[in-house]
Amino acid sequence: MTRSGLKLGFIGLGVMGAPMAGHLLNAGHLLYVHTRSKVPPALVESGATLCTTARGVAERADVVFLMLPDTPDVDAVLFGEYGVASGLARGKAVVDCSSIDPIATRGFAKRIQELGCDYLDAPVSGGEVGAKAASLSIMVGGSDMGFERVRPLLALMGKNITHVGAVGDGQVCKVANQMIVALNIAAVAEALVFASKAGADPGRVRQALMGGFASSRVLEVHGERMIQRTFAPGFRIALHQKDLNLALQGARALELALPQTAQAAQSMQACAALGHGQSDHSALVCAIEALAQHSLGTVG
């Protein structure tokens, strides 16, 4: 493919970052990449240019996307030695798709804006499945002008793209999303363990519930994972713990009680203590099973 599109950068090529970057590349854009792990061969074969530092990406690209695990990782990539900030020139833009602390995000944005560049937080929801299918929900914080500039690029990676508000508001929205998802996973896990221990087939119970008011995407996808015992990580327990900790830290700062979120965080902690921290967050069912001394078992 002849590439005559925009010069884009992507830093962080993990489970979700790699397919997201691939969509930008497949649209015909020039793509410069950097990651601390091995760059997926498919990206290089498709024409991505590997840079040895984050600074190298920022020097070459007009818009730099980040998809990193946690707040300290974003801080280091932006402002560490050979970081993005050291390679930026006025008029460029940074789009952080990571899920991190909203307050830290506003501080990062201020420092990048002082260099004459746009900064948007654009955390995503949809997991590995959504990343591969380019169907992610993307929650964006930033200026109106900045949002309009990057919206066509975000549309290559997601379908539900919402400009939530100012910088940091995208991260606030993502934290709220993670609270809801965690509570749904816990509810599905408890319901299926209850049904199984009561003697019903959890698979058939799930099928019946999918036709009623209890139906949800979590019941559909993660309920099946719980029954089939397929816990390969689409989104790891450890990362969901991080997001729930952000919610609870925010609640303390706001003097706000979040009792159900706190309980979900404890269930995630119990699951991690059982050795499932690197498993998919649907493995939360393992903590519920341990409390019940009953397993859903293996189907098929």
CA angle, 286 then 288 then 294, to 5°: 80
For residue 81, with 0-12 CB atoms within 10 Å meaning exposed, 13-18 middle and 19 or more buried, which class applies?
exposed
* Distance between CA atoms of residues 227 and 299, nearest Å: 7
For residue 251, with 0-12 CB atoms within 10 Å meaning exposed, 13-18 middle and 19 or more buried, which class applies?
middle
Among the listed residues 202, 180, 207, the one whose alpha carbon sits nearest the alpha carbon of residue 190: 202
Among the listed residues 142, 151, 135, the one whose alpha carbon sits nearest the alpha carbon of residue 172: 142
Which of 7, 38, 110, 174 is catalytic? The answer is: 174
* Distance between CA atoms of residues 75 and 94, nearest Å: 13
* Distance between CA atoms of residues 43 and 92, nearest Å: 23
Among the listed residues 241, 236, 250, the one whose alpha carbon sits nearest the alpha carbon of residue 173: 250
CA angle, 38 then 40 then 45, to 5°: 125
**CB 291: neighbour CB atoms within 10 A?**
12
Among the listed residues 158, 17, 30, 175, the one whose alpha carbon sits nearest the alpha carbon of residue 96: 17
> 202 is written with which tokens?
């959890």
Is 159 part of the annotated catalytic residue set?
A: no
Say if CB 95 and CB 167 are below 8 A apart: no
**CB 2: neighbour CB atoms within 10 A?**
6
Give the residue numbers marked as catalytic. Answer: 174
